[in-house]
Structure formats: structure tokens, C-alpha cells
């Protein structure tokens, strides 16, 4: 009958029985060995990105640290850091804030989300500020505001141009209104620098958003941006829900801002040092 089958009289032995039920061990690949490009989604060997951190397939500009930015921008050995060691406070006793600060310092090697000082760029001396999104998304707290304000005050006293690389997620919520006050504080220092007839250049890098965009990031005499950088105030979804309209795909990208007159030029990362130096020299000739 079909319900029954003839019993096999032989015993079948698996020749690979020694491997049966043994867990398969997959080789581990270090996380830092490869990166996925946010632009084209290719998985890229880290070495192929080069020191400039540019995707070889689509040209996407990866985010870089303040230390990497310094190495790519300034004349070697000319950076003199200033205003380091200002201690960040916790005015609201915000849960977990002190622990987060400690973790970020250990992870990034920075004391806060901005590095300030003086440097030579192609022989031109500038007061330089670099915001680092690896440190709590370069959110603007009281120390960030204080360091940038002091940078402008020093530049005004020493008659130096200011070059500022902006990157931020906005105001630092853990510091409440004290964070928001930094917008007006820095803007006042920018105004005094401008009244002295001095040059201020901003370079918008990915991402520059929130209160930083609403204040000093857009107050430069000339505003540059890196390709494809996200630049805006509120988030895309917030705006769409408010205006109840679909926004263009490239909305809040540097290219969109250039087209609508909010940015003066988009400059590739490798071209920034020459561009900065040329703009500083042009301004000096007219002063």
C-alpha cells in the first residue's frame, strides 16, 4: 500500500558526521575596516576613502573629525590651540549629562564640540574654529558659545580674519535656555568683529542645523559649503507637517541653498585651503 514503504535494510553513515551539529564559526571583520557610503550605498574599503574621506564611486563627502579637518586645512605645525580646558557645567542637573560628557571626551579626545585657535592656511594667519559633530552632534552649549565668542574677541583685538567650520545639531537641550543664549552672545561678538572691518568666512559642513544655522553660521561675509552638506533650521518632517506640502528631494542640501542664494559657493574639500587663503588675501588688499 502507498501508506507503507519498504524498510531500508542498510544503515546510512554520514561521512562528515564529525561536523554535524557543530556551530559554524564566521570570520569576524573589524567594523573600522569598511564603511557604507550614505550616498551610493556602496561598501567601501576604508583605505579607498583616503585622508579626505571622499567616496571613490559617487564623490560623497564623509564627515570628519576636528583633528582630520586640521590636518587637511592648515599649514603643518602652525595650529596654536586657544581657550582649551573651559569646564562644561550641568546647570539643570540633567539626568545622564555628566556621564555623557565624560564618554564623549574619552571617545573623541576633545574637551568640547569646538576646537579654537590660530593657524596659517597657505601662509595666511587666521583665527580658526572647527566644530566636531562627533561630540554630542556638536550641539551648542555654554562652553561652545564661550569658546567661539572668545575667538571672535581675540580676532578683533589682533585684527585677524575668522574662519569657522560649522557643524551642529542645534542647541544643547541638556543646558536649556543657557544654550539658546549663546546665539545672541556669539552674534554680538560677530558684529563687533565686523564693525572693526574684519573678514569672517564660514564653511558649512554636514550637518549644520538648528540654532547654529539661525545665528553665526549664516552671518559670514562669505558663506561656503561642502558638497551635499545638510543645512537647515528645523527638520524636514517638521516642515512638511507644518506647511502640509511635500518638499523637493534636495531640500536643505548645500546645492539647493546655492541655487536659492543662501550660499555663495560649494567648494570641494581638497580645494578649501587654497580657496580660504585666496579669499583672505583678497579681503586684505581691500582693507
Give the CATH number for residue 95: 3.90.226.10
In a domain, residue 210? The reply is: yes
Residue 255's domain spans which residues? 63-286
Based on the domain organization, do 35 and 142 belong to the same domain?
no
The model's pTM: 0.85
Strands (E), 103-196: 114-121, 124-131, 162-168
Confidence of residue 143 (pLDDT cuts 50, 70, 90): very high
Based on the domain organization, do 101 and 43 belong to the same domain?
no
Q: Domain ends where: 19, 46, 62?
A: 62
Domain count, the chain: 2
Based on the domain organization, do 216 and 259 belong to the same domain?
yes
Q: What is the mean pLDDT of residues 281-287?
A: 72
Based on the domain organization, do 109 and 53 belong to the same domain?
no
30-69 pLDDT per residue, tens: 656 888 887 788 788 888 777 788 887 888 888 899 999 9
In a domain, residue 48? The reply is: yes
In a domain, residue 8? The reply is: no
Higher pLDDT, 276 or 61: 276
Q: Are 116 and 72 in contact (CB under 8 A)?
A: no
Q: Domain ends where: 40, 62, 84?
A: 62
Residue bearing cell 517638521: 238
Q: What is the mean pLDDT of residues 113-138?
A: 97
Higher pLDDT, 155 or 58: 155
Based on the domain organization, do 56 and 186 belong to the same domain?
no
In a domain, residue 181? The reply is: yes
Picking from 136, 36, 120, the residue whose alpha carbon sits closest to that of residue 70 is 120
233-260 pLDDT per residue, tens: 988 888 888 888 888 888 889 999 999 9
Q: Are 238 and 35 in contact (CB under 8 A)?
A: no
Amino acid at each position: 500500500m502507498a501508506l507503507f514503504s519498504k524498510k531500508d535494510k542498510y544503515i546510512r553513515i554520514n561521512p562528515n558526521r564529525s561536523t554535524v551539529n557543530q556551530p559554524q564559526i564566521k570570520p569576524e571583520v573589524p567594523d573600522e575596516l569598511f564603511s557604507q557610503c550614505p550616498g551610493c550605498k556602496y561598501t567601501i574599503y576604508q583605505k579607498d576613502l583616503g585622508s579626505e574621506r571622499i567616496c571613490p564611486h559617487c564623490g560623497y563627502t564623509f564627515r570628519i573629525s576636528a583633528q582630520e579637518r586640521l590636518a587637511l586645512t592648515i599649514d603643518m605645525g602652525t595650529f596654536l590651540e586657544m581657550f582649551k580646558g573651559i569646564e562644561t557645567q550641568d546647570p539643570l542637573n540633567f539626568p545622564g549629562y555628566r556621564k555623557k560628557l565624560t564618554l564623549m571626551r574619552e571617545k573623541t579626545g576633545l574637551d568640547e564640540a569646538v576646537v579654537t585657535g590660530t593657524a596659517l592656511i597657505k601662509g595666511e594667519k587666521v583665527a580658526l574654529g572647527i566644530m566636531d559633530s562627533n561630540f554630542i552632534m556638536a550641539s551648542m552649549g555654554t562652553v561652545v558659545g564661550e569658546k567661539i565668542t572668545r575667538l571672535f574677541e581675540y580676532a578683533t583685538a589682533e585684527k585677524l580674519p575668522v574662519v569657522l567650520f560649522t557643524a551642529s545639531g542645534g542647541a544643547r537641550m541638556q543646558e536649556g535656555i543657557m544654550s539658546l543664549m549663546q546665539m545672541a552672545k556669539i552674534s554680538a561678538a560677530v558684529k563687533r568683529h565686523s564693525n572693526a572691518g574684519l573678514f569672517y568666512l564660514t564653511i558649512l559642513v554636514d550637518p549644520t542645523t538648528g540654532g547654529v544655522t539661525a545665528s553665526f553660521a549664516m552671518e559670514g561675509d562669505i558663506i561656503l559649503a561642502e558638497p551635499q552638506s545638510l543645512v537647515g533650521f528645523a527638520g524636514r518632517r517638521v516642515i512638511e507637517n507644518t506647511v502640509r506640502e511635500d518638499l523637493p528631494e534636495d531640500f536643505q542640501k548645500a546645492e539647493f541653498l546655492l541655487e536659492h542664494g543662501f550660499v555663495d559657493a560649494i567648494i570641494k574639500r581638497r580645494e578649501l585651503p587654497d580657496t580660504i587663503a585666496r579669499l583672505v588675501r583678497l579681503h586684505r588688499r581691500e582693507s
